[in-house]
Amino acid sequence: MKHTEIVHALAKEASLHEITIKGWVRSFRSNRFIAVNDGSTIKNLQCVVDFENFDEETLKKVTTGAAIEVTGTLVESQGQGQSVEVQTSKITILGEADPEEVKLTILSPKRHSLEKLREQAHLRVRTNTFGAVMRMRSKLSFAVHKYFQENGFYYMHTPIITGSDAEGAGEMFKVSALDPKNPPLDDDGNVNYKEDFFAKETNLTVSGQLEAETYAMGLGKVYTFGPTFRAENSNTSRHLAEFWMIEPEVAFNDLNDNMDLAEDFIKYVLKYVLDNCQDDLEFLENRVLQEDKAKPQAERQEMTLRDKLSFVVDNNFKRVSYTEAIDILKNSKPNKKKKFKYIIEEWGADLQSEHERFLVEKHFKCPVILFDYPATIKAFYMRLNEDEKTVRAMDVLFPGIGEIVGGSQREERYDVLKQKMQAMDISEEELSWYLDLRKFGTCTHSGFGLGFERLVLFATGMGNIRDVIPYPRTPGNAEF
Amino acid sequence: MKHTEIVHALAKEASLHEITIKGWVRSFRSNRFIAVNDGSTIKNLQCVVDFENFDEETLKKVTTGAAIEVTGTLVESQGQGQSVEVQTSKITILGEADPEEVKLTILSPKRHSLEKLREQAHLRVRTNTFGAVMRMRSKLSFAVHKYFQENGFYYMHTPIITGSDAEGAGEMFKVSALDPKNPPLDDDGNVNYKEDFFAKETNLTVSGQLEAETYAMGLGKVYTFGPTFRAENSNTSRHLAEFWMIEPEVAFNDLNDNMDLAEDFIKYVLKYVLDNCQDDLEFLENRVLQEDKAKPQAERQEMTLRDKLSFVVDNNFKRVSYTEAIDILKNSKPNKKKKFKYIIEEWGADLQSEHERFLVEKHFKCPVILFDYPATIKAFYMRLNEDEKTVRAMDVLFPGIGEIVGGSQREERYDVLKQKMQAMDISEEELSWYLDLRKFGTCTHSGFGLGFERLVLFATGMGNIRDVIPYPRTPGNAEF
């Protein structure tokens, strides 16, 4: 008989029909109630056993972590917390879990810290917290695709291994198939990459944007959703060396359209999880509440997790120019009282995380889109404004997260772009294909990048980015 | 006024309302008919101009490749090939395309070989062929997600940078942030990876399977869809150094369930493109027909592209054990007449592409699933059968493509797996986390890997895998 997934069993009417389920034992109380979970939902299915009808040897093996198959009748539950339960007629042990060995792992029933769970990342998905986070990550991923596909965007896979190091978004990892101990050298004593696999020096991509632009110029509206990399020694709760990024790029969109797209997109995906992840959200919301109890009042969340998501979905993001933001910051209390680590003295300053948080969390108390940044602190490809001082850049800032989106209208004018590249010492030869886009049917176009893990962080209420990706890669850590 | 995408304009009723479209000029015939494409569909929108009403300077700039904005009235078309056209009232040149420069590119109206198009991969998506291929690639990607999400699978992102080199699926690229010219050495004179970014030697993943197994043991049904890498010098029309792979992994599935899943999945995604990519499929079908005209009769496709896809959707895949396949091959004409390069002499032989093609294209004339291969030619993690000679492996073979899926039921027995690893010299220490899955609630589970580009190749009728990914990475080539 085919087994029934627990999510489906729980949705069924109590009936006198027999069902079989398979899953892992979460607990076995009073020699009578087995809580079984199969990952299809955060909820366990309670299987009630009359111990007199079962072989003692079998029941002994019903321990936390064991895989079992249970056959029985789905009946209305007598107890609280579930509508149906299984009156068990048969138990088969599929895979044991020696209780002594389980004690050494995070599968043991006692509470474990997130740090401890991280050390056993191959088992942590079996806990309620990580099960919920990873199911939500999956649903969010699908919402990303659904949004773009329903709106006429084409998904494109930009290259991971890149021969270009001109993207400028950060430090890159090198990729090579040469013998690292004795690489071939050229006449000047440098590594001779002509003998490497790709016959040139190659790196891991930091962004698919430039390639996405080439496709937007053909397909109109495209998006990427793939891994990107930073070889930066950032040991923070907000940075990963390997993370997934979403980068839409749209021909004929200007910066306003770009801001509209970012806002609409974020609202859609958060609405999607509000509608489709209720059980996991409820669990994670309670997790945050529990965690907050240990914190001083001032550090606690002002809203529950679901209220926070609903707030973003239901309210307009505040759009503020960089120039306005600088005025607000200059006149702010923490600036005047020198509470900021970096005091804002004049226009042109790069905003630090403390400034962004002040704007979002204290001043506006909602998601904020900053736009029209000074050209000097932004990338070469952003469109220069008429004032020749600012560029059509935008950042979306989120409470508790900081920058979640960075984007811009792209410089579509051949001469201006070329000049900018020269000024910033970017190789025209290497990016001749990128310049070509401005030579053949150039047009206004815009796009942005959204760090997917920061979105998952926000949606799940987790505090550390290492806890929202299955196997985090950070300085000193590439386990599993 | 917001512009209308061409795919929507073409779906509209002819009306007296004004519309504005933006796109790129594909042709300008008789100083009267501008064919505009914006990538939203393979179809162009015909914009009719009365040249007397337009500035000569503007019309001069309406050249192939230029970006333009056209405003006019959508009316019933007088000509053939389209139901509606635009009676143009206004043309704005957004971005010119100098005809002399265009001549040097693949944007010029003459026919170009696929090889030539590959050299200008940043522009090739503006051609009909590549527009169609890449739109279909996008739709196929979405179908992959849709299938799994609708069937209760969770999407997981397995790591790209891996500290493990035990996966055994192929040669790996090294990833490092060390100075390649002067790497730090340890006391033995070897590169000291303790000083590298991750404090250990790291590579690009060849498969997410082992990590996917860890998640199947928690979430039940998972799938990956991400880039994988092979540092193998395979300069063929079927291999890439960087390609996207789909890897479902399902707890409690045995090999039969696994075969059912693979077949159901493939049929679903092909049905999805048959239903959702009609215009692109029609174009690509004609492309194959045109291409075939230049070939001798024997090499031509027996079915049209859409018939071929429908055939796969509508017919059962033939399931054949390796042992049966060997019998068929041993007794086959090409084997007896020594037409095979590798003559099949006895049970245990590894099947070559020529044998797979014979089985699929000559013998069974349909997709074939081979299963129960000799243990000696398969990976360590595949479940040993009772006969102790064969393992529960399966390959799905497709006409014209060869192997499109490789999968297996996984060895879930701790002792058997451990023995296998020892025999195959695979480090237990490095894969202790993988062994843990067999220690704590082990269960029957199965999965497979599907090379996404091979699926796109099949669905689009293209002949070279380099033409179904935006920027192919192959030996000696990592351009763009």
Q: Measured between CA atoms, how close is A249 to chain B, in angstroms?
A: 13
* Sign of the torsion angle spanned by Cα atoms A463, A468, A470, A473: negative
- Contact criterion met (CB below 8 Å) for B93 and B70: no
The residue of chain B nearest to residue A147, with distances taken between CA atoms, is B142
The residue of chain B nearest to residue A98, with distances taken between CA atoms, is B440
Q: Which residues, numbered 245 to 274 in chain B, qualify as contacts with chain A under a Cβ-Cβ cut-off of 8 Å? A: 251-252
Q: State whether residue B286 is helix, strand or coil.
A: helix
CATH number for the domain harbouring residue A430: 3.30.930.10
Same domain, B11 and B84: yes
CB contact under 8 A, A441 and B40: no
Same domain, B97 and B217: no
Domain assignment of residue A266, yes or no: yes
Q: Which residue has the tokens 């990303």?
A: A144
CB contact under 8 A, A98 and B439: yes
Same domain, A241 and A146: yes
Using DSSP bridges, classify how beta strands A18-29 and A33-37 pair: parallel, antiparallel or unpaired: antiparallel
CB contact under 8 A, A480 and B433: yes
Domain assignment of residue A342, yes or no: yes
Q: Which residues, numbered 342 to 371 in chain A, qualify as contacts with chain B under a Cβ-Cβ cut-off of 8 Å? A: none
* Sign of the torsion angle spanned by Cα atoms B29, B33, B39, B41: negative
Domain assignment of residue A458, yes or no: yes
The residue of chain B nearest to residue A145, with distances taken between CA atoms, is B142
DSSP B104-122: TSTTSSS---HHHHHHTTT
Domain assignment of residue B335, yes or no: yes
Q: Measured between CA atoms, how close is A436 to chain B, in angstroms?
A: 9
| Contact residues, chain A, for B3 at CB < 8 Å | 252
CB contact under 8 A, B442 and A94: yes
Q: What is the pLDDT of residue A299?
A: 85
Structure tokens at B299: 């090499």
Report d(CA A458, CA A288) in Å as an integer.
12
| Contact residues, chain A, for B227 at CB < 8 Å | 157, 160, 226-227
Same domain, A343 and A243: yes
Same domain, A217 and A346: yes
Q: Which of B95, B180, B439 sits opposite A191 (nearest CB)?
A: B180
Q: What is the pLDDT of residue A167?
A: 59
Choose the final residue of a domain: B110, B139, B155: B110
The residue of chain B nearest to residue A124, with distances taken between CA atoms, is B218
Same domain, A73 and A211: no
Interface test with B, best of A198, A279, A442 (most B CBs within 10 A): A198
Domain assignment of residue B198, yes or no: no
CB contact under 8 A, B441 and A40: no
Interface test with A, best of B8, B10, B25, B138 (most A CBs within 10 A): B138
Give the bridge partners for B11, in sequence order: none
Q: Measured between CA atoms, how close is A391 to chain B, in angstroms?
A: 20
Q: What is the pLDDT of residue B16?
A: 77
Interface test with A, best of B34, B137, B173, B273 (most A CBs within 10 A): B173
The residue of chain A nearest to residue B126, with distances taken between CA atoms, is A218
| Contact residues, chain A, for B164 at CB < 8 Å | 480
Q: What is the pLDDT of residue A333?
A: 96
Report d(CA A472, CA A449) in Å as an integer.
20
Domain assignment of residue A143, yes or no: yes
CB contact under 8 A, B39 and A221: yes
CATH number for the domain harbouring residue A13: 2.40.50.140
Dump pLDDT digits (tens) for A301-338: 889 999 999 999 999 999 999 999 999 999 999 999 99
| Contact residues, chain B, for A411 at CB < 8 Å | none
CB contact under 8 A, B198 and A436: no
Report d(CA B145, CA A244) in Å as an integer.
16
| Contact residues, chain B, for A439 at CB < 8 Å | 97-98, 101
Q: Which of B181, B252, B442 sits opposite A190 (nearest CB)?
A: B181
Same domain, A100 and A227: no
Q: Alpha carbon of B183 to those of A161, A191, A250, B187: distances in Å?
A: 22, 12, 43, 13
Q: Is B151 at the interface with chain A, CB within 8 A? A: no
CB contact under 8 A, A155 and B164: no
Domain assignment of residue B480, yes or no: no
Same domain, A292 and A392: yes
- Contact criterion met (CB below 8 Å) for B248 and B222: yes
* Sign of the torsion angle spanned by Cα atoms B204, B210, B212, B215: negative
Q: Which of A125, A149, A163 sits opposite B478 (nearest CB)?
A: A163
Q: Which residue has the tokens 């009909």?
A: B128
Q: Which residues, numbered 186 to 215 in chain B, qualify as contacts with chain A under a Cβ-Cβ cut-off of 8 Å? A: 189-191, 197-200, 202, 204, 211, 214-215
Q: What is the pLDDT of residue A168?
A: 65
Q: Is B180 at the interface with chain A, CB within 8 A? A: yes
Q: Which of A95, A214, A469 sits opposite B125 (nearest CB)?
A: A214
* Continuous H helices in A183-254: 209-219
Q: Measured between CA atoms, how close is B80 to chain A, in angstroms?
A: 25
Q: Which of A24, A155, A211 sits opposite B441 (nearest CB)?
A: A24
Q: Residue B147 is which amino acid?
A: Y
Q: Alpha carbon of B374 to those of B326, B349, B370, B391: distances in Å?
A: 11, 8, 12, 6
- Contact criterion met (CB below 8 Å) for A206 and A230: yes
Same domain, A86 and A138: no
Q: Is B38 at the interface with chain A, CB within 8 A? A: yes
The residue of chain A nearest to residue B184, with distances taken between CA atoms, is A181
Q: Alpha carbon of B33 to those of B95, B131, B171: distances in Å?
A: 19, 22, 54
Into how many domains does chain B fold?
A: 2
Q: Is B114 at the interface with chain A, CB within 8 A? A: no
Which parts of chain A have pLDDT scores under 50? none
CB contact under 8 A, A191 and B181: yes
Interface test with A, best of B137, B175, B429 (most A CBs within 10 A): B175
Same domain, B99 and B210: no
Structure tokens at A327: 């005025």
Same domain, A463 and A347: yes
CB contact under 8 A, A220 and B135: no
Same domain, B154 and B283: yes
Residues 6+ apart with CB under 8 A from A178: A184, A191, A193, A195, A196, A197, B174, B180
Choose the final residue of a domain: A110, A141, A159: A110
* Residue B308 buriedness (CB in 10 A; 0-12 / 13-18 / 19+): buried
CB atoms within 10 A of CB B329: 21
Report d(CA B219, CA B214) in Å as an integer.
9
Q: Is A94 at the interface with chain B, CB within 8 A? A: yes
- Taking CB atoms and an 8 Å cut-off, how many pairs form between chains A and B? 333
Domain assignment of residue B160, yes or no: yes
Q: Is A98 at the interface with chain B, CB within 8 A? A: yes
Among the listed residues A34, A42, A45, the one whose alpha carbon sits nearest the alpha carbon of residue A4: A45
Q: Measured between CA atoms, how close is A75 to chain B, in angstroms?
A: 24
Q: What is the pLDDT of residue A111?
A: 87
Q: Which of A24, A440, A469 sits opposite B105 (nearest CB)?
A: A440
| Contact residues, chain A, for B25 at CB < 8 Å | 441
Structure tokens at A19: 């069902």
Q: Measured between CA atoms, how close is A332 to chain B, in angstroms?
A: 39
Report d(CA B159, CA A473) in Å as an integer.
8
* Residue B128 buriedness (CB in 10 A; 0-12 / 13-18 / 19+): middle
Among the listed residues B410, B411, B414, the one whose alpha carbon sits nearest the alpha carbon of residue B440: B414
Q: What is the pLDDT of residue A400?
A: 86
CB contact under 8 A, A433 and B214: no
Residuewise pLDDT in 10s, chain B (480 residues): 689 999 999 998 877 789 999 999 999 999 999 999 999 999 999 999 998 999 999 999 999 999 999 999 999 988 777 889 999 999 999 999 999 999 999 999 888 999 999 999 999 999 999 999 999 999 999 999 999 999 999 999 999 999 877 666 679 999 999 999 999 999 999 999 999 999 999 999 999 999 999 999 999 999 999 999 999 998 899 999 999 999 999 999 999 999 999 999 999 999 999 999 999 999 999 999 999 999 998 888 889 999 999 999 999 999 999 999 999 999 999 999 999 999 999 999 999 999 999 999 999 999 999 999 999 999 999 999 999 999 999 999 998 888 999 999 999 999 999 999 999 999 999 999 999 999 999 999 999 999 999 999 999 999 999 999 999 999 999 999
Q: State whether residue A316 is helix, strand or coil.
A: coil
Q: Is B109 at the interface with chain A, CB within 8 A? A: no
Q: Is A412 at the interface with chain B, CB within 8 A? A: yes
User: For residue A219, what are the domain limits?
Assistant: 128-171+206-467
pTM above 0.95, yes or no: yes
CB contact under 8 A, A227 and B226: yes
